[in-house]
Structure 1
Amino acid sequence: MTVEIRDIRGRGVVPGRAEGEALVSHQTISGWGGIDPATGTIIERRHELFGVCFTGKVLVFPGAKGSSGWSGFFQATRLLGTAPLAMVFTTLSTKSALGAVVTRVPTISELAEDPVEIIHTGDRVIVDADHGIVTVHSTSLSPSAGRRPA
Protein backbone atom coordinates (compact mmCIF):
# COMPACT_ATOMS: atom_id res chain seq x y z
CA MET A 1 0.00 0.00 0.00
CA THR A 2 1.38 3.36 -1.06
CA VAL A 3 0.61 6.47 0.98
CA GLU A 4 0.88 9.88 -0.63
CA ILE A 5 1.06 12.88 1.69
CA ARG A 6 0.10 16.26 0.30
CA ASP A 7 -0.41 19.69 1.87
CA ILE A 8 -2.97 22.14 0.54
CA ARG A 9 -2.83 25.73 1.77
CA GLY A 10 -5.91 27.80 2.37
CA ARG A 11 -7.57 30.27 4.69
CA GLY A 12 -8.49 29.27 8.21
CA VAL A 13 -12.10 30.20 8.95
CA VAL A 14 -12.52 28.64 12.40
CA PRO A 15 -9.33 27.93 14.35
CA GLY A 16 -8.33 24.55 15.66
CA ARG A 17 -6.90 21.26 14.54
CA ALA A 18 -8.63 17.98 13.80
CA GLU A 19 -7.67 14.71 12.19
CA GLY A 20 -10.01 12.13 10.74
CA GLU A 21 -11.49 10.35 7.77
CA ALA A 22 -12.66 12.49 4.86
CA LEU A 23 -16.21 12.45 3.54
CA VAL A 24 -16.22 14.20 0.16
CA SER A 25 -19.19 15.65 -1.70
CA HIS A 26 -18.91 17.07 -5.21
CA GLN A 27 -22.24 18.80 -4.63
CA THR A 28 -23.04 21.73 -2.37
CA ILE A 29 -24.92 20.85 0.81
CA SER A 30 -28.21 22.36 1.90
CA GLY A 31 -28.80 22.90 5.61
CA TRP A 32 -32.55 23.40 5.76
CA GLY A 33 -34.12 20.28 4.27
CA GLY A 34 -30.75 18.86 3.26
CA ILE A 35 -29.47 17.46 6.55
CA ASP A 36 -30.97 15.84 9.62
CA PRO A 37 -29.24 17.53 12.57
CA ALA A 38 -30.41 14.82 14.98
CA THR A 39 -28.45 12.13 13.14
CA GLY A 40 -25.85 14.11 11.16
CA THR A 41 -27.17 12.56 7.95
CA ILE A 42 -27.65 14.08 4.51
CA ILE A 43 -31.33 13.71 3.68
CA GLU A 44 -31.61 15.63 0.40
CA ARG A 45 -32.99 12.90 -1.87
CA ARG A 46 -31.08 13.83 -5.02
CA HIS A 47 -27.76 14.44 -3.27
CA GLU A 48 -24.88 12.11 -4.07
CA LEU A 49 -24.43 11.44 -0.31
CA PHE A 50 -28.12 10.83 0.44
CA GLY A 51 -28.35 8.71 3.58
CA VAL A 52 -24.67 9.15 4.53
CA CYS A 53 -23.72 10.36 8.02
CA PHE A 54 -21.05 13.06 8.36
CA THR A 55 -20.74 12.87 12.16
CA GLY A 56 -17.11 12.58 13.21
CA LYS A 57 -15.84 12.95 9.61
CA VAL A 58 -13.91 15.73 7.92
CA LEU A 59 -16.60 17.08 5.61
CA VAL A 60 -15.11 18.22 2.28
CA PHE A 61 -17.55 19.96 -0.07
CA PRO A 62 -17.87 22.89 -2.50
CA GLY A 63 -19.94 25.07 -0.14
CA ALA A 64 -23.35 25.86 1.24
CA LYS A 65 -26.54 26.12 -0.74
CA GLY A 66 -29.95 27.36 0.20
CA SER A 67 -31.10 29.96 2.66
CA SER A 68 -29.40 31.66 5.57
CA GLY A 69 -30.91 28.90 7.74
CA TRP A 70 -27.91 26.77 6.71
CA SER A 71 -25.91 27.94 9.71
CA GLY A 72 -28.73 27.17 12.15
CA PHE A 73 -28.96 23.57 11.01
CA PHE A 74 -25.22 23.07 11.31
CA GLN A 75 -25.25 24.72 14.75
CA ALA A 76 -27.90 22.18 15.74
CA THR A 77 -25.47 19.37 14.82
CA ARG A 78 -23.01 20.79 17.34
CA LEU A 79 -25.68 21.05 20.03
CA LEU A 80 -26.87 17.49 19.33
CA GLY A 81 -23.38 15.97 19.12
CA THR A 82 -23.68 15.04 15.44
CA ALA A 83 -21.39 17.67 13.88
CA PRO A 84 -18.63 16.90 11.44
CA LEU A 85 -15.14 16.71 12.96
CA ALA A 86 -13.95 19.54 10.68
CA MET A 87 -15.00 21.23 7.45
CA VAL A 88 -13.09 22.01 4.27
CA PHE A 89 -14.98 23.85 1.56
CA THR A 90 -14.09 25.46 -1.73
CA THR A 91 -16.27 28.57 -1.77
CA LEU A 92 -16.46 30.88 1.23
CA SER A 93 -19.83 32.58 1.55
CA THR A 94 -21.58 34.27 4.45
CA LYS A 95 -23.71 31.11 4.91
CA SER A 96 -20.77 28.73 5.02
CA ALA A 97 -18.62 31.03 7.17
CA LEU A 98 -21.36 31.59 9.75
CA GLY A 99 -22.20 27.88 9.70
CA ALA A 100 -18.59 27.00 10.42
CA VAL A 101 -18.37 29.54 13.25
CA VAL A 102 -21.52 28.33 15.02
CA THR A 103 -20.61 24.67 14.48
CA ARG A 104 -17.26 25.42 16.16
CA VAL A 105 -15.21 22.92 14.21
CA PRO A 106 -11.84 23.64 12.56
CA THR A 107 -12.59 24.95 9.08
CA ILE A 108 -10.50 25.90 6.06
CA SER A 109 -11.67 27.45 2.79
CA GLU A 110 -10.27 29.28 -0.23
CA LEU A 111 -7.59 26.67 -0.83
CA ALA A 112 -4.85 26.97 -3.45
CA GLU A 113 -6.19 23.79 -5.08
CA ASP A 114 -9.72 22.39 -5.23
CA PRO A 115 -10.01 20.04 -2.23
CA VAL A 116 -13.01 18.25 -3.76
CA GLU A 117 -10.81 17.11 -6.65
CA ILE A 118 -7.79 16.17 -4.53
CA ILE A 119 -9.29 14.59 -1.42
CA HIS A 120 -11.21 11.32 -1.67
CA THR A 121 -13.70 9.79 0.73
CA GLY A 122 -11.73 7.59 3.11
CA ASP A 123 -8.49 9.60 2.95
CA ARG A 124 -6.98 10.50 6.32
CA VAL A 125 -7.00 14.30 6.61
CA ILE A 126 -5.48 16.73 9.10
CA VAL A 127 -7.19 20.12 9.17
CA ASP A 128 -4.89 22.69 10.79
CA ALA A 129 -7.00 25.82 10.57
CA ASP A 130 -4.59 27.74 12.81
CA HIS A 131 -2.03 27.60 10.00
CA GLY A 132 -4.39 27.20 7.02
CA ILE A 133 -3.07 23.78 6.01
CA VAL A 134 -4.96 20.63 5.04
CA THR A 135 -2.70 17.58 5.01
CA VAL A 136 -4.05 14.69 2.97
CA HIS A 137 -2.87 11.11 3.47
CA SER A 138 -4.10 9.33 0.33
CA THR A 139 -3.74 5.60 -0.07
CA SER A 140 -4.23 3.38 -3.07
CA LEU A 141 -7.18 1.93 -1.14
CA SER A 142 -9.10 5.23 -1.08
CA PRO A 143 -12.33 5.20 -3.10
CA SER A 144 -12.24 7.04 -6.41
CA ALA A 145 -13.63 10.55 -6.61
CA GLY A 146 -17.37 10.65 -6.90
CA ARG A 147 -17.90 7.14 -5.57
CA ARG A 148 -20.44 6.79 -2.81
CA PRO A 149 -18.89 5.76 0.53
CA ALA A 150 -19.83 2.41 2.02
Structure 2
Amino acid sequence: MSKRYSCHKISEGKAQAEAIKTHDRIMFYQVRPEDGVMEEKDHELVGRSIAQKVLLFPGGKGSSVVQQDGLYHLDRFHNMPAALIVQDPDPVLVAGAIIMEIPMVDRLPQEFYDAVKDGDQILVNADEGYVEVL
Protein backbone atom coordinates (compact mmCIF):
# COMPACT_ATOMS: atom_id res chain seq x y z
CA MET A 1 0.00 0.00 0.00
CA SER A 2 1.48 3.33 -1.03
CA LYS A 3 1.65 6.45 1.10
CA ARG A 4 1.62 9.99 -0.30
CA TYR A 5 3.27 13.05 1.28
CA SER A 6 2.95 16.64 0.16
CA CYS A 7 6.13 18.56 -0.62
CA HIS A 8 7.43 21.82 -2.05
CA LYS A 9 8.69 21.91 -5.65
CA ILE A 10 12.17 23.33 -6.17
CA SER A 11 12.92 21.96 -9.65
CA GLU A 12 10.16 20.62 -11.87
CA GLY A 13 9.73 17.10 -13.11
CA LYS A 14 8.68 13.59 -12.21
CA ALA A 15 10.76 10.51 -11.48
CA GLN A 16 10.27 7.07 -10.01
CA ALA A 17 13.21 5.07 -8.69
CA GLU A 18 14.74 3.26 -5.75
CA ALA A 19 15.49 5.38 -2.69
CA ILE A 20 18.94 5.89 -1.23
CA LYS A 21 19.26 8.02 1.86
CA THR A 22 22.01 9.58 3.91
CA HIS A 23 22.36 11.79 6.95
CA ASP A 24 25.56 13.29 5.48
CA ARG A 25 25.71 16.33 3.22
CA ILE A 26 26.89 15.61 -0.32
CA MET A 27 29.60 17.13 -2.47
CA PHE A 28 28.78 15.82 -5.95
CA TYR A 29 32.41 16.35 -6.97
CA GLN A 30 33.22 13.40 -4.66
CA VAL A 31 30.92 11.08 -6.65
CA ARG A 32 32.63 9.08 -9.41
CA PRO A 33 30.92 10.11 -12.68
CA GLU A 34 31.50 6.78 -14.47
CA ASP A 35 29.23 4.84 -12.09
CA GLY A 36 27.77 7.31 -9.58
CA VAL A 37 29.67 5.79 -6.65
CA MET A 38 30.41 8.00 -3.63
CA GLU A 39 34.17 8.23 -3.12
CA GLU A 40 34.34 10.63 -0.17
CA LYS A 41 36.13 9.00 2.75
CA ASP A 42 34.00 8.58 5.89
CA HIS A 43 30.76 9.44 4.03
CA GLU A 44 27.76 7.30 4.96
CA LEU A 45 27.35 6.33 1.27
CA VAL A 46 31.02 5.62 0.48
CA GLY A 47 31.21 2.76 -2.04
CA ARG A 48 27.51 3.02 -2.97
CA SER A 49 26.01 4.38 -6.18
CA ILE A 50 23.50 7.23 -6.29
CA ALA A 51 23.03 6.84 -10.07
CA GLN A 52 19.39 6.73 -11.21
CA LYS A 53 18.12 6.72 -7.60
CA VAL A 54 15.94 9.08 -5.59
CA LEU A 55 18.51 10.65 -3.29
CA LEU A 56 17.35 11.76 0.19
CA PHE A 57 19.96 13.95 1.87
CA PRO A 58 20.31 16.96 4.16
CA GLY A 59 21.97 19.27 1.61
CA GLY A 60 25.09 20.04 -0.33
CA LYS A 61 28.57 21.06 0.71
CA GLY A 62 31.53 22.58 -1.04
CA SER A 63 31.90 25.50 -3.38
CA SER A 64 29.59 26.21 -6.29
CA VAL A 65 32.32 25.24 -8.76
CA VAL A 66 32.88 21.74 -7.39
CA GLN A 67 29.15 21.11 -6.96
CA GLN A 68 28.28 22.16 -10.52
CA ASP A 69 31.29 20.34 -11.98
CA GLY A 70 30.35 17.17 -10.13
CA LEU A 71 26.74 17.34 -11.35
CA TYR A 72 27.90 18.11 -14.91
CA HIS A 73 30.13 15.03 -15.03
CA LEU A 74 27.45 12.78 -13.53
CA ASP A 75 25.08 14.03 -16.23
CA ARG A 76 27.69 13.45 -18.95
CA PHE A 77 27.94 9.78 -17.95
CA HIS A 78 24.15 9.44 -17.42
CA ASN A 79 24.68 8.68 -13.73
CA MET A 80 22.73 11.55 -12.23
CA PRO A 81 20.27 10.78 -9.43
CA ALA A 82 16.70 10.37 -10.74
CA ALA A 83 15.44 12.96 -8.23
CA LEU A 84 16.63 14.89 -5.19
CA ILE A 85 14.78 15.16 -1.88
CA VAL A 86 16.67 17.68 0.20
CA GLN A 87 16.11 18.98 3.71
CA ASP A 88 18.21 22.16 3.49
CA PRO A 89 18.40 23.40 -0.11
CA ASP A 90 21.04 25.99 -0.90
CA PRO A 91 21.27 28.20 -4.00
CA VAL A 92 24.04 26.08 -5.55
CA LEU A 93 22.02 22.85 -5.31
CA VAL A 94 18.87 24.58 -6.53
CA ALA A 95 20.66 26.06 -9.54
CA GLY A 96 22.25 22.70 -10.34
CA ALA A 97 18.94 20.84 -10.18
CA ILE A 98 17.23 23.39 -12.40
CA ILE A 99 20.05 23.52 -14.97
CA MET A 100 20.42 19.72 -15.07
CA GLU A 101 16.63 19.24 -15.05
CA ILE A 102 16.57 16.96 -11.99
CA PRO A 103 13.28 16.95 -10.07
CA MET A 104 14.03 18.41 -6.64
CA VAL A 105 11.70 18.85 -3.66
CA ASP A 106 11.85 19.77 0.00
CA ARG A 107 9.60 20.44 3.02
CA LEU A 108 8.54 16.85 3.58
CA PRO A 109 7.36 15.88 7.06
CA GLN A 110 9.73 14.10 9.44
CA GLU A 111 7.35 11.12 9.23
CA PHE A 112 8.43 10.66 5.60
CA TYR A 113 12.15 10.56 6.48
CA ASP A 114 11.44 8.14 9.34
CA ALA A 115 9.41 5.82 7.09
CA VAL A 116 11.59 5.61 3.96
CA LYS A 117 14.22 2.90 3.75
CA ASP A 118 16.97 2.36 1.20
CA GLY A 119 15.54 0.39 -1.71
CA ASP A 120 11.94 1.63 -1.33
CA GLN A 121 10.36 2.64 -4.64
CA ILE A 122 9.68 6.38 -4.56
CA LEU A 123 7.68 8.50 -6.97
CA VAL A 124 8.64 12.17 -6.91
CA ASN A 125 6.09 14.40 -8.63
CA ALA A 126 7.49 17.89 -8.13
CA ASP A 127 4.99 19.34 -10.62
CA GLU A 128 2.00 18.28 -8.53
CA GLY A 129 3.73 18.70 -5.15
CA TYR A 130 3.86 15.19 -3.75
CA VAL A 131 6.17 12.28 -3.05
CA GLU A 132 4.78 8.77 -2.88
CA VAL A 133 6.33 5.70 -1.27
CA LEU A 134 5.07 2.85 -3.47
**Gaps in structure 2 of 5+ consecutive residues:** none
Alignment of 1:1-150 (within 5 A): 3=1, 5-32=2-29, 34-68=30-64, 69-113=66-110, 115-137=112-134
Q: Distance in 2 between matches of 1:135 and 1:22?
A: 11
Greater fraction of residues in helix: 2
Following the alignment from structure 1 to structure 2, what is the Cα–Cα distance between the partners of residues 63 and 35? 15
Which whole-Å deviations, capped at 9, do the CAs of 1:65-93 have from their partners, x for residues lacking one? 11112122112211221111111111111
Tell me if structure 2 keeps the 8 A contact 1:62–1:116: no
After TM superposition, the score normalised by the length of structure 1 is 0.80
TM-score, length of structure 2 as denominator length = 0.89
> Structure 1 CA distance, aligned partners of 2:76 and 2:56?
21
Structure 1 contact 17–106 (Cα < 8 Å) conserved: yes
Alignment RMSD: 1.6
Q: Kindly tell me: are residues 73 and 114 of structure 1, through their superposed partners in 2, closer, same or farther at Cα, counting changes over 3 Å?
A: farther
**In structure 2, what residue type is equivalent to 1:55?**
A
User: Would you say the 8 A contact 1:40–1:83 is kept in 2?
Assistant: yes
CA distance in 1, matches of 2:59, 2:89: 7
What stretches of structure 1 of length at least 5 have no aligned partner? 138-150
Paired letter, 1:62: P
Q: Distance in 2 between matches of 1:82 and 1:71?
A: 14
Q: Distance in 2 between matches of 1:125 and 1:96?
A: 21
SS of structure 2 residue aligned to 1:126: strand
Aligned residues: 133
Change in Cα spacing, 1:114 to 1:97, as seen in structure 2 (3 Å) is farther
- Name the CA distance, whole Å, in 2 between partners of 1:29 and 1:115: 20
